[in-house]
Structure 1
Amino acid sequence: MLQFKPSLLTLALVAAGASMHAYAADTADVEAKAKAAKDAEIEVISVTGIRRSLQESQSLKMSSSSIVEAISAEDIGKLPDVSIAESLARLPGVAAQRLDGRANVISVRGMGPDFTTTTLNGREQATVNDNRSVEFDQYPSELLNRVVVYKTPDASLMAQGIGATVDMQTISPLAHGEQTIAIAARAEMNDLGALNSGSTDKGNRFSISYVDQFADDTIGIALGYAHMQSPNQEERWQAWGYPELDYDAANPKVLGGAKPFVRSSELTRDGYLAVLEYQPNDSFHSVLDIYYTDFNDEQRLRGIEIPGQWGAGGANDGITALESQDGLVTKGVINNAAVVVRNDVNFRDAQSLSIGWNNKYIINDNWSVQADVALSKADRTDIGMESYSGTGRGDGNGATDTLGFEMGADGNATFTHNLDYADPNLIKLGGPLSWGNPIGQDSQDGFINKPVIEDELKSVRLSAEYIFDDGALRSLEFGVNHGKREKNKLDQGFYLTSKAYPELATVPKQYLLTPTSLAFFGMGDMLSYDSLAMYRDGFYTETSAESVDLGRATNSWNVQEEVTIAFAKANLESELFGLPMSGNVGLQAVYTDQSSDGSVAGVENGLVTKTPITDGETYTEWLPSINLGFEVGDGQMLRFAAARTLSRARMDKMNANVSFDYNEAGSGGVNWSGKAGNPHLMPWLARQYDISYENYFSDQGYFAAAVFYKDLENFVFDQSALINFGAIFPDKGGNPIGSVTQPQNGNGGYVRGLELSLSLDFGMYADVLEGFGTILSGTYSESEVKETSDSEATTLPGLSKKTFNATVYYENSGFSARVSSRYRSDFLGEVTEISLKRTNVNIKAENVVDAQIGYDFSQSGIDALYGLSVLFQVNNLTNEPFSSYFHEDERLVRDFQNYGRNYMLGLNYKF
């Protein structure tokens, strides 16, 4: 008989925090343990704060049949960090990528965001970005009870990912078992100050949660609201690139151009949660949960764009190199330079809605059935506006400057200048460089992007479980899940021309703002104005980019998916080789019908023409899985897992769009060429193998070591393909077969690695150390992915070879303190470039440190303050920058972002 059982403390923690997560492999176990704890009349154990979170997370890891990591709330509405992504990034094998100073998306075991699936209460989520990866800052951490990372899947896990499945879970009010009202408030400040006129460096957070039970504990309700108004400030150096001086490879590289600026943003998010749970008897259990967030990010970006070597002959007379070092010009002069003064705006308005209804009915001691229906929706509207001003319209006009520059040790440049860029009589509205001619020569005075994303995912799941009375086969689960998803992108872009064209326009006084300081790179103050207000008041003429820009014409798309999954899973409990053994073995059959609506676009007589097209693919994949755990000693588990897993292709690459160029006199008789999406893309597939040793030596202490190997069956590369254009344009002559570049499934490779983690409560070893503890983890990963067996290895997006996490904490007599550090080595990450397009760049290693201290007055002995606690937090304590670079030379900085520190002071009250 299996002897590896959780302690009474573990049972109590699981019972107190058990989720209604419908799809988790161990749902039945959790419910049984909760009932066992209640039947045994286990009293509430006084474990709070950091240690409660660690103990419950450890109990989940210990009792799961899969290899998992978990984060649990320290209390109602209180996850350990200010964001979910930051908490996840402290787990073994998990790393976060920052966006605008906050953790945004994650990589797991070297697999980037594309390979990780995120669910809420077991249901896959629609997303606000162009792909499937969830942006975790959309989800208020105050409304979540725990997050579980499934590193190995089982057949009952409907939303699998090659990297992992991340399941965010809300509270179960009946399992919570008592009435609770929790209120939290935070004041927030960024230490860089308000860098842009009209911005703020101060923010606030507020949340309230209510949990209660009624009708003899047969009805439970949980309600939550979380508000956040968070300031972000940033000093950013951004380079165009580094060509060779005089375009001769024998010469050193030099700055091609730069776009440094300061960014001030205000992120406002409102989140709402409602959970209604009904369990009138031991046979029937029903849960309805609703989760909604409204997310708004308003950014002001002001800076001066400086053409360097790439502007020679137009925007300047070239660069004179004064000093060079190891093939890079480190000091020089840009002669007769014309620059662009930029007043830009980025707005994002996004909403996410998730509704799920789960019903379970126990027919008898052997049979139970379950039904689950869900809807997830996400909508996003962006505005990305650029507004240009300078001393003259077009190349070679207006006053010029002599700019000196010197490259710093961190790859940034510092400039010297002569002109006053804050003078409204000198700097006027209009395009100072010859960038575009939408309505006439040099008539591009700005640009505005207005992409809209809509994503909707519906699902229904029917399943049953049969429990055997005895034998090694404990139970058999089987069922079917059907999901339907549709995602649309409407990519609108417009050239902006001042209505004063062809003259330059002085900024009207009502739009002028206090000048913005660009002292961080030496350019003094710059002219600042409310460009968005000017646009809304009709100051600009708009010209659709879609009518003249072939690439823009094929950026809009629609992708539909219908996925049906049939599954069966056998849960096992027996002995093998004299060792207690438990686990599961199962199989999924996954049928997918995918299609896309797009267009075939080309240019005729200077204008873009579009022809509608629809295309798609169907396929079936078989996904076996096995998870086995052996108790090799007291509190010691050896786990083995193997599975075939899939991650679906990026939806923005599955579009049916084709952009082409037709040339009647094409070389070699080939008249057609172009670029295309690929609605026939198959999913990424992998066979993965995991071995984990876990030693649980206390309720708050364990050591774990794991090795993993993912055999990637395929990967997606941009390759040449042949398309029959004659079927689309039968009236065209010549050879109808054309060559296009499109994403295709190519050769695969592998990802492999080692994970180590340790959690220690120092109070185990000496009374004087009571309350002190640490959590340490490290992961080493490596990969090799090739387009063909003979090609060079490709860098895997999201893979950092080394990640380390360390937390040292103290919690005793109401006092608490914690310092956490997370490190990840260099990696290939996805960022936004021109026209809000996404691209992969090399991102430099970083080490982010956060700290917090607090006191819980419930342990002060002062009755009037019972339930009150205070907390002070500092995010990015060491002011770690975010930096990306070109090629493999870290000196060639592409983007350097300085965020400063965020301070938060808050109160929590629970009654």
Structure 2
Amino acid sequence: MKHIISGTPASQVKHRLVLKSGVAVMAAAGLLSAFPVLAQEAPAAQDNPENTVTVTGVRRAAETAQKIKKDADNVIDSIVADDIGKFPDTNVAETLARVTGVQVRRDGGEANTVLIRGLPGIATLLNGRELFTTTGRYIQLADLPSTMLQRVDVYKSQSADLNEGGIAGVIDVRTNRPFDFKGFTAVVNGGATNNSQAERTDPNVSGMISNRWKTDFGEVGALFGVSYVRNHYSEERVFNTKPIDKSWLLPNLTGPDLMGLENIKGDRRRIATNYALQWKPNKDVELYAEGLGTHYLNNFETDFFVGLPWWGPGELMSGTKIPGSNQLQTLTSHNVNTIMSTQANRASNVTQQHAIGGRWNAAPGLRLSTELARTLSDYDWQNPILDTITNVPNATVNTNVGGTAHLVYGGEDLNDPKNYTLDQLFDRYGRDHGSSTDWHADGTYTLQDDGFFKDFGFGVRANKRTAASIKSFEGSVLAPTGVGVSTLPGMTCNSQMQNDWGTTSWYTPCASYLISNTADVRKAVTGSSVAKALDPGSFFEDQEKNYALYGKAHVGWETAGIPIDGVLGMRVTKTDSDLLGNSLVGTTYVPTVKSSSDKTYLPSANFKASLRDDVIARLSLSKTLTRPDFAQLNPGTAYVNANGTTTQATASGGNPDLKPFTARNYDASLEYYFSSTGMASLALFRHEFKGYIMNKVVKETFNGVSYDTTRPFNTDDGYLQGGEIAYRTFFDKLPGWMSGFGLEANATYTEGQTTSSSVDGNAANGKAFAGMSKWSYNVVALYEKYGISGRLAYNWRSKFVQVYNDTGDGKDLWASPMSSLDGSLGYKINENTTVTLTGTNLLNFKYTDYWTNKGLYPRDTRRYDRSVGLFVNWKI
């Protein structure tokens, strides 16, 4: 599409100042704290109506995404890359936070958990085929590098041809193929990102090369891409534990048993490659092969300063209450035992998927396709935890200074290892494996006559999934009394906090030594270098075979002069499962096997009425399902603590009798497309659930011991409903350089709950879904003019319950409202080269959560990195 550059000569020349002004604005937001920027002036455009430019960048992405939404049969939102190798964020999960109705949670320096309209039941697809991580039903979207993506489609309504499994929705990640380009194309995107708290600058490099050739055997295309992202990150926390009775110090006093600090440091690396081959021997046949491989490696540690202010002589303590309450405000104590704990982690996940397929125009109006895909995913993890202990002469703590705990420990050098002895070791490790073989065949027959029926679609799918998992026994081993940490060479490290939580540094065991020399640490603590045995009770190995077939019909008619299109469909899915786990009989683990089978009918109807050329009304009715995670189906039980006399014994296990939970879904929307890059929409939705899966704790007796056992179960009924509003425009009618500005804004309201007659005292019964915010919104300022492109995005979601009755006495754990301001500023030096400056967490967001009353019972306060990146994108 071509657009004329308009404006007076004077207004056109003004663009020379825009880049410098934009850089100044971003600098005011904190974006330029780590990198100098060299602004290059662009040549002035000639005032000639024959000078035209192709719409690219932000506008082109908005235009393409809007066309996908308008033309789709489903309720859908899309995000499209600004250019080849240029997605708005560093990973898919971060980008999805801008989509109407999508809520994310950020931890460890990036977005991870993704919800659609408040629900976690999401199906993830890669180019239309199922993609997952090991034993899960979906892939961790943060593991997918954004530089490889062409677009991401978020389906909020179901149709018969979409794979079942996403009760909340379906996220389809689309990568480039060689036939997407006219000919030879090469792209290199390279740069670096600086994280403020980690104080590190890391590389982010990707590249793609693609070409297509006409040969005697038809047209052939090949594409190959590679991505490498490294990210040193830091997260700092200060915490209180739940309030418990402390009336032995002051009458009716409650207070946290522990208060402490967490210093989280990580080195995250993601390496990914993808390829695509296409062959079109003639105009009616196309064959292809494509694949994606990702390797996620995360070495990270959590250094705990576990303050135990009550672990000292009671006569040396004094405390105060928060005015008007019985909750502890301040506590001063002496000779306090204090634990310094390092949790070392090494997590490695390798996922790969390969597919071959073809499409065939078999006859006039008849199009057939088929595909065979193989997916493999392996996850190995280690998590040794070593506690050391010291006695601190003086401790003064405050549970609530503006909603944040404050700890001042002193009287000795907290950084001197000579003051510490070994306390206990937790020896933890495990591995997961998942695989799938997936085949499907589809067809569409388009009628030649322009009648009520337009076309018919049909298809069949066969899928075999396997999932296996095992981990070591839980629990700790106490070290011999009085063994100093200096007996282990290489164990002397210090943890340094950047934020002032009262105590800023302390000795801690070295995480790298714990990971690399775990056998030596075992020897010092337990007397043996042998690793703790694998726990047969945690083991499961499941096999699932799924068969599905569908049929759909595209219909169309006019009512009162209004064209109406509809797609009516039915998907029938059958799943046979064989579940294997282990359970204790006496003192011996014996295999526990459970087989099950279910069949579900999933009707769907999507209607679209073109009220005008630029106004569309939609109505969608469908039934969806989500199957339990494989770990939830584990027929075995893992017993963590068999000593029920001194501490309550606990256990965890799955529930092989779990059924898929289903929903009846109703979606309606009104969409107004007032320009190629401008639209406004209003949507209403309601989901009515049956069998939503939640966890509960029940008393179970084994070998004469009563265990608090956590298991999942199906609830009875539930619902979720709400509305969405979205708006996008570019202000083309503003004069000169101001016409480059644009705006995106959206907001979502959700509310809902589940009920269950079988839940004895379950705190979540009849309440809103845990993890769901009632309100969320996004406001994005855009700019695209004279080679300059910019984006400044603010994301916000309201408070939500994380865990109901988390304290055991009725107090729910709430997360405070969350927000993020991210931005980017790019300059197109020439047709081949663009320089982009990016920034995340520009407002230095502070996360807090609390039990029921934020003024009385704060739990965590967390600070994340502010990140700044500078990148160059070059293409030919």
- The reply on whether 1:632 has 2:624 as its aligned counterpart is no
Aligned to 1:856: 828
The structural deviation recorded for 1:145 is 0.6
The counterpart of 1:697, out of the listed 674, 678, 694, is 674
Q: 1:778 to 1:720 in 2, by over 3 A?
A: closer
Larger mean CA deviation between 563-572 and 323-332 belongs to 323-332
The structural deviation recorded for 1:632 is 0.3
Secondary structure at 2:61's aligned position in 1? helix
Larger mean CA deviation between 699-708 and 574-583 belongs to 574-583
- The reply on whether 1:123 has 2:121 as its aligned counterpart is no
Aligned to 2:553: 570
Aligned to 2:394: 402
Q: Distance in 2 between matches of 1:528 and 1:660?
A: 31
- Alignment RMSD (CA, Å): 3.5
The counterpart of 2:417, out of the listed 403, 419, 424, is 424
Aligned to 1:156: 161
Q: 1:660 to 1:349 in 2, by over 3 A?
A: closer
The counterpart of 1:778, out of the listed 747, 759, 770, is 747
The structural deviation recorded for 1:259 is 3.4
Aligned to 1:19: none
Q: Distance in 2 between matches of 1:325 and 1:497?
A: 42
Aligned to 1:146: 151
Q: Distance in 2 between matches of 1:622 and 1:277?
A: 36
Larger mean CA deviation between 464-473 and 91-100 belongs to 464-473
The structural deviation recorded for 1:809 is 1.3
Q: 1:104 to 1:742 in 2, by over 3 A?
A: closer
The structural deviation recorded for 1:724 is 12
Residue pair 1:384, 1:449 contacting (<8 A) in 2 also? yes
The counterpart of 2:77, out of the listed 66, 69, 81, is 69
The structural deviation recorded for 1:662 is 14
AA at the equivalent of 2:787: G
Question: Residue by residue, what CA displacement relative to the aligned partner does 1:308-343 show, whole Å, maximum 9, x if unpaired?
Answer: 45x578xx7796323423423222213431001123
- Spell out the pairing of 1:448-463 with structure 2 (5 A cutoff): 448-463=427-442
Residue pair 1:553, 1:601 contacting (<8 A) in 2 also? no
- Spell out the pairing of 1:487-886 with structure 2 (5 A cutoff): 487-493=467-473, 503-508=483-488, 510-513=490-493, 516-517=496-497, 520-533=500-513, 535-536=517-518, 538-541=520-523, 554-601=537-584, 609-658=588-637, 676-718=653-695, 742-764=711-733, 769-788=738-757, 792-829=765-802, 842-858=814-830, 866-886=831-851
AA at the equivalent of 1:591: K
Q: Distance in 2 between matches of 1:325 and 1:553?
A: 52
The structural deviation recorded for 1:352 is 1.1
Larger mean CA deviation between 156-165 and 683-692 belongs to 156-165
Identity among equivalent pairs (%): 21
AA at the equivalent of 2:627: R
AA at the equivalent of 1:696: Y
Q: 1:140 to 1:888 in 2, by over 3 A?
A: same
- Spell out the pairing of 1:20-419 with structure 2 (5 A cutoff): 46-112=54-120, 115-128=121-134, 131-194=136-199, 201-215=200-214, 218-246=219-247, 251-309=252-310, 311=311, 320-327=318-325, 328-391=327-390, 399-406=391-398, 407-419=400-412
The structural deviation recorded for 1:519 is 6.6
Residue pair 2:472, 2:532 contacting (<8 A) in 1 also? no
Question: Residue by residue, what CA displacement relative to the aligned partner does 1:134-193 show, whole Å, maximum 9, x if unpaired?
Answer: 311111111111000010011000144111100001113213223211111111111124
Q: Distance in 1 between matches of 2:651 and 2:256?
A: 32
Q: Distance in 2 between matches of 1:353 and 1:480?
A: 24
Q: Distance in 2 between matches of 1:263 and 1:661?
A: 26
AA at the equivalent of 2:190: A
AA at the equivalent of 1:284: V
Q: 1:287 to 1:334 in 2, by over 3 A?
A: farther
Secondary structure at 2:276's aligned position in 1? strand
- The reply on whether 1:485 has 2:482 as its aligned counterpart is no
Q: 1:155 to 1:332 in 2, by over 3 A?
A: same
Q: Distance in 2 between matches of 1:474 and 1:543?
A: 73
Q: Distance in 2 between matches of 1:425 and 1:741?
A: 42
Question: Residue by residue, what CA displacement relative to the aligned partner does 1:603-662 show, whole Å, maximum 9, x if unpaired?
Answer: x6xxx5312111132111110000010000121100110001111112221110135899
The structural deviation recorded for 1:757 is 0.1
AA at the equivalent of 2:306: E
Gaps of 5+ in 2: 4-50, 807-811
Q: 1:627 to 1:227 in 2, by over 3 A?
A: same
Q: Distance in 1 between matches of 2:301 and 2:353?
A: 31
The structural deviation recorded for 1:749 is 1.2
AA at the equivalent of 2:818: E
Q: Distance in 2 between matches of 1:476 and 1:763?
A: 42
Aligned to 1:476: 456
The structural deviation recorded for 1:501 is 6.4
Q: 1:320 to 1:739 in 2, by over 3 A?
A: closer
Residue pair 1:867, 1:910 contacting (<8 A) in 2 also? yes
AA at the equivalent of 1:347: R
Gaps of 5+ in 1: 1-6, 10-42, 195-200, 392-398, 432-444, 667-671, 726-731, 834-839, 859-865
Q: 1:877 to 1:78 in 2, by over 3 A?
A: same
Residue pair 2:446, 2:454 contacting (<8 A) in 1 also? yes
Secondary structure at 1:769's aligned position in 2? helix
Question: How high is the TM-score relative to the length of structure 1?
Answer: 0.82
Q: Distance in 2 between matches of 1:177 and 1:147?
A: 22
Q: Distance in 2 between matches of 1:341 and 1:413?
A: 17
Q: 1:363 to 1:590 in 2, by over 3 A?
A: same
Q: Distance in 1 between matches of 2:681 and 2:372?
A: 37
Q: 1:247 to 1:215 in 2, by over 3 A?
A: farther
Larger mean CA deviation between 704-713 and 714-723 belongs to 714-723
Q: Distance in 1 between matches of 2:527 and 2:591?
A: 19
Residue pair 2:341, 2:509 contacting (<8 A) in 1 also? no
Q: Distance in 1 between matches of 2:241 and 2:566?
A: 54
Q: 1:45 to 1:456 in 2, by over 3 A?
A: farther
Q: Distance in 1 between matches of 2:699 and 2:414?
A: 52
The structural deviation recorded for 1:536 is 3.8
Q: 1:270 to 1:318 in 2, by over 3 A?
A: farther
Aligned to 1:31: none
Residue pair 1:57, 1:72 contacting (<8 A) in 2 also? yes
Question: Residue by residue, what CA displacement relative to the aligned partner does 1:399-421 show, whole Å, maximum 9, x if unpaired?
Answer: 44321012321322232422211
Q: 1:493 to 1:738 in 2, by over 3 A?
A: closer
Q: Distance in 2 between matches of 1:318 and 1:779?
A: 53
Secondary structure at 1:523's aligned position in 2? coil
Q: Distance in 2 between matches of 1:81 and 1:674?
A: 41
Q: Distance in 1 between matches of 2:405 and 2:697?
A: 38
Secondary structure at 1:76's aligned position in 2? coil
Q: Distance in 1 between matches of 2:262 and 2:743?
A: 40
Secondary structure at 2:427's aligned position in 1? strand
